[in-house]
């Protein structure tokens, strides 16, 4: 991930649920009670870049400022859906940078099972993406059609990037073969 | 990425490299030996066959000074056998590349490391039933520039298309079997240059995704190994791959 990678920046900007471990004065506006202190134990959605820093910083050796929770897009419900059929889940509606978020979260949490499920669903979905990338655009106007459109709409940013690169290389190949005809 | 250039070669660059392959021509006119960077070409005397680089053969072909003999693997019967091998004999693996012409023994010899561009794999005496490294681009180029020299060009063209489809779908399917943790990279023996160029973007993307998702686990494993120390660590590692 490079410093100027817009996808990395957008990934960092995704909200994750956090619980404050301290009562903080003047921060009540985070919980729509402006002007009041924020009581300890309040749940607030914070962007990942901020939450990560706050969760890692330690006030005393045993407590940190906030506690991170698993975001909704990586909840057990989603994991079960991915386990049942990776292709039918609309990842984009869960998080635009689903895999990017998952990578960052896996760095913070030790979630062996989530990691397994994600690896497997990335593999299965990637193979499907590759098939669509090559078959779309081949039949002229009719792109995919039917169930393909539904699946492609649910791709997250990383899968879209994969689709694009697979599609570009197969297109370059077709262009080259077309040029051979003209000569 | 600062540079808009993609990693790897474009199809046009692969085709350019392919023009260095040697093919067999049957000259129609005399031509004295030419001093090329790759060495002198043989003197061309009409009824005798001679090996020439593809680019020179194409030039002579366009000027109607020579005919190109298609390599034996490009004949319809051979392509059909390869296609049958791809679909029926080994529906998962790619058909093997041609055998190395110089026998490889335990004694190290300078011919061991000669690889496709410098091995004549597309001359008239190349072995049939094996697809060489530049099969797709060489086939396409010959079909376009010298279709009158290739027997049954339409059938050959159809067979090349079929082979490409079959092999590309194998390549895309191979990612399903990939392991997350540096384990099994699928077998790619026999894949041609053009297929590498076409599949690169996709395969690299998939592997990159797997690497990033598995990186946290990788870090954790390495830390555990360091804690446990050398000997025991390697045993644990093998068990995890199961």
ipTM: 0.78
Any CB–CB contact under 8 A between A101 and chain B?
A: no
Give the minimum alpha-carbon distance from B59 to chain A in angstroms, rounded to a whole number: 13
Average of per-residue pLDDT across B54-58: 90
Residues B143-169 pLDDT 10s? 888 888 888 888 888 888 888 888 888
- From the list A158, A173, A183, the residue facing B209 with the nearest CB is A158
Instruction: Report helix, strand or coil for A17.
Output: strand
Do the domains at A1-69 and A72-183 have one common CATH topology?
A: yes
Give the minimum alpha-carbon distance from B4 to chain A in angstroms, rounded to a whole number: 13
Maximum alpha-carbon separation in chain A: 77
Return the pLDDT at A53: 84
Q: Which residue of B has its CA nearest to A179?
A: B12
Average of per-residue pLDDT across B46-67: 88
CATH number among 1.10.1040.50, 3.40.50.410, 1.20.58.2050, 3.40.50.1370, domain A1-69 = 1.20.58.2050
Identify the band that residue B181 occupies on the pLDDT scale cut at 50, 70 and 90. Answer: very low
Residue A137 has pLDDT above 70, yes or no: no
Cβ distance of A126 and B180 shorter than 8 Å: no
Identify the band that residue B4 occupies on the pLDDT scale cut at 50, 70 and 90. Answer: low
Residues B192-217 pLDDT 10s? 888 888 888 888 888 888 888 888 77
Mean pLDDT of chain B: 79
Interatomic CA distance for residues B45 and B43, integer angstroms: 6
Residues B64-99 pLDDT 10s? 888 888 888 888 888 888 888 888 887 777 788 787
Return phi, psi of residue B183, to 5°.
-75, -115
- From the list A106, A110, A162, the residue facing B202 with the nearest CB is A162
Best mutation site among B213, B218, B223, B242 for testing chain A: the one with the most A CBs within 10 Å?
B213
Return the pLDDT at B237: 46
CATH of the domain at B137: 1.20.58.1020
Count how many pairs of residues, chain A against chain B, have C-beta atoms within 8 Å: 97
Q: Which residue of B has its CA nearest to A174?
A: B11
Give the minimum alpha-carbon distance from A31 to chain B in angstroms, rounded to a whole number: 33
Domain count across chain B: 1
Q: Where are the domains of chain A?
A: 1-69, 72-183
């Amino acid at each position: 991930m490079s410093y100027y990678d817009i996808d990395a920046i957008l990934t960092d900007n995704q909200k994750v649920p956090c619980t404050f471990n301290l009562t903080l004065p003047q921060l009540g506006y985070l919980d729509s009670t402006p002007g009041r202190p924020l009581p300890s134990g309040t749940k607030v959605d914070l962007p990942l870049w901020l939450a990560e820093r706050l969760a890692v910083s330690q006030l005393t050796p045993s407590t940190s400022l906030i506690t991170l929770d698993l975001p909704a897009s990586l909840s057990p419900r989603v994991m079960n859906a991915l386990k049942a059929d990776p292709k039918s889940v609309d990842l984009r509606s869960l998080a635009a940078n689903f895999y990017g978020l998952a990578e960052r979260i896996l760095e913070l949490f030790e979630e062996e099972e989530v990691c397994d499920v994600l690896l497997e669903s990335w593999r299965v979905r990637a193979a499907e993406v590759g098939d669509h990338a090559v078959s779309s655009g081949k039949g002229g106007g009719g792109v995919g059609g039917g169930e393909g459109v539904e699946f492609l709409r649910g791709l997250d940013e990383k899968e879209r990037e994969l689709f694009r690169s697979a599609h570009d290389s197969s297109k370059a190949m077709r262009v080259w073969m077309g040029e051979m005809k003209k000569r | 990425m600062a540079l808009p250039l993609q990693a790897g070669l474009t199809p046009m660059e692969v085709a350019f490299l392919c023009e260095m392959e040697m093919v067999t021509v049957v000259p129609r006119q005399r031509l004295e030996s030419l001093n090329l960077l790759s060495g002198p070409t043989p003197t061309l005397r009409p009824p005798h066959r001679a090996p020439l680089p593809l680019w020179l053969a194409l030039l002579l072909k366009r000027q109607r000074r020579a005919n190109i003999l298609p390599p034996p693997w490009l004949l319809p019967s051979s392509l059909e056998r390869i296609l049958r091998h791809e679909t029926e004999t080994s529906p998962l693996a790619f058909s093997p590349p041609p055998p190395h012409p110089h026998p490889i023994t335990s004694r190290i010899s300078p011919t061991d490391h000669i690889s496709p561009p410098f091995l004549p794999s597309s001359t008239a005496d190349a072995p049939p039933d094996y697809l060489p490294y530049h099969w797709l681009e060489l086939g396409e180029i010959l079909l376009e520039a010298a279709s009158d020299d290739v027997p049954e060009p339409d059938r050959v063209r159809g067979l090349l298309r079929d082979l490409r489809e079959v092999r590309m779908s194998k390549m895309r399917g191979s990612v399903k079997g990939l392991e997350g943790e540096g384990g099994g990279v699928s077998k790619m023996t026999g894949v041609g240059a053009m297929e590498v160029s076409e599949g690169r973007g996709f395969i690299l993307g998939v592997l990159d995704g797997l690497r990033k998702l598995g990186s946290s686990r990788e870090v954790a494993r390495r830390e555990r190994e360091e804690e446990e120390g050398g000997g025991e660590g390697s045993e644990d590692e093998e068990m995890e791959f199961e």
